[in-house]
């Protein structure tokens, strides 16, 4: 009986193993959203016949996997949600220089020798109009008494874009805004989606620094949510795509980058409510040129990351 069980178990394992075996030509590790990489992979395979195997998780989880795999890496193309990854990987000498012919209309600040943006998200105030609060226009509005106990902030330790927003606003006007927010009962509530959820149900009125495309997607589904870009400025989070220099499929990887930046690829990016990286692609949402962007000295900001997070944590009692 036991040998029979073992045999049946092994047979089941074989079936499972077959189901998971990769026959792919190009392996892409990407930070969310899942629907974006699914569509890009399908479109790319249709156009080139090259199969895409992708692994999608948060930026942190993707990095953990790359770090653990370092002895025998599998990833060909990496798409992160934080430009900092591209800078850091370039410094470590892990990236293959490549400039796609399709990147001509990508603005210079969204590309380097070794990385190019796939799309861009921006941070905004996500506000629930049925919350019974006045519509906020500025970051500072959320520290007003009308929003007492009604504001969520994503955790800058878990969201790279939120960290840049905190650093940029702090560089501009010090910690007073965040001290006012904390005194007004604003709380730090996990990663981006976790911070938005209570606002949808109405437990909170607004997210300070919500990722815009998730809120736009909710709006399309009929959720009661509005996206406000403060006139004083916000930060953007370009999503760098890069080819790892250990890739054994460099030609296919380059073709994938080309497809991602093609008209068809950028249209898929725009359809997920991200801003396309190419300026000549239209989208049904405000674009970079419509937004006021806060200046940020990435090098200095990331050098002081630990201190910034510690000061932020101190203000919000973490």
- Of 67 and 108, which CB lies nearer to other proteins in the complex structure? 67
The CB-of-111 to other proteins minimum distance in angstroms stands at: 21
- Contact criterion met (CB below 8 Å) for 275 and 118: no
> ω before 33 within 30° of 0 (cis)?
yes
Token readout for 286 is 């405000």
CB atoms within 10 A of CB 48: 16
- Of 71 and 295, which CB lies nearer to other proteins in the complex structure? 71
The CB-of-223 to other proteins minimum distance in angstroms stands at: 5
- Of 292 and 318, which CB lies nearer to other proteins in the complex structure? 318
Note the Cα 191 to chain centre separation in Å: 11
- Annotated ligand binding at 147? The verdict is no
The CB-of-79 to other proteins minimum distance in angstroms stands at: 14
The CB-of-67 to other proteins minimum distance in angstroms stands at: 4
- Contact criterion met (CB below 8 Å) for 152 and 186: yes
What whole-number distance in Å separates Cα of residue 118 and Cα of residue 159? Answer: 18
- Of 70 and 104, which CB lies nearer to other proteins in the complex structure? 70
The CB-of-231 to other proteins minimum distance in angstroms stands at: 26
- Of 224 and 250, which CB lies nearer to other proteins in the complex structure? 224
The CB-of-130 to other proteins minimum distance in angstroms stands at: 6
Sign of CA dihedral 181, 186, 187, 190: negative
- Of 57 and 137, which CB lies nearer to other proteins in the complex structure? 57
- Of 217 and 245, which CB lies nearer to other proteins in the complex structure? 217
The CB-of-80 to other proteins minimum distance in angstroms stands at: 9
DSSP symbol at 107: -
Annotated binding site for Fe cation: 213
Annotated binding site: 213
């Amino acid at each position: 009986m036991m040998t029979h069980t073992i045999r049946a178990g092994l047979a089941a394992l074989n079936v499972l193993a077959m189901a998971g075996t990769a026959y792919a030509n190009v392996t892409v590790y990407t930070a969310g959203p899942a629907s974006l990489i699914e569509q890009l992979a399908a479109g790319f395979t249709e156009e080139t016949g090259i199969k895409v195997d992708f692994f999608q998780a948060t930026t942190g989880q993707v990095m953990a996997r790359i770090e653990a795999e370092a002895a025998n890496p599998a990833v060909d193309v990496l798409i992160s949600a934080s430009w900092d990854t591209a800078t850091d990987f370039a410094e470590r000498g892990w990236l293959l220089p490549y400039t796609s012919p399709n990147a001509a209309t990508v603005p210079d600040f969204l590309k380097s020798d070794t990385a190019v943006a796939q799309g861009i998200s921006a941070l905004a105030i996500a506000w629930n109009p049925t919350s019974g609060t006045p519509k906020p226009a500025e970051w500072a509005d959320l520290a007003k008494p009308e929003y007492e106990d009604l504001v969520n902030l994503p955790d800058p330790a878990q969201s790279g874009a939120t960290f840049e927003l905190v650093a940029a606003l702090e560089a501009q006007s010090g910690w007073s805004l965040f001290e006012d927010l904390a005194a007004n009962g604003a709380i730090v509530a996990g990663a981006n989606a976790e911070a938005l959820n209570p606002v949808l149900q109405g437990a909170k009125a607004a997210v300070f620094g919500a990722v815009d495309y998730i809120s736009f997607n909710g709006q399309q589904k009929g959720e009661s949510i509005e996206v406000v870009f403060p006139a004083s400025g916000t930060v953007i989070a370009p999503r760098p795509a890069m080819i790892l220099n250990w890739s054994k499929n460099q030609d296919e990887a380059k073709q994938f980058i080309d497809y991602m930046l093609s008209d068809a690829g950028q249209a898929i990016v725009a359809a997920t409510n991200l801003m396309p990286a190419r300026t000549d692609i239209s989208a049904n949402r405000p674009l970079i040129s419509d937004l006021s962007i806060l200046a940020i000295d990435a090098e200095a900001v990331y050098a002081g990351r630990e201190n910034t997070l510690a000061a932020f944590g101190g203000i919000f009692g973490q």
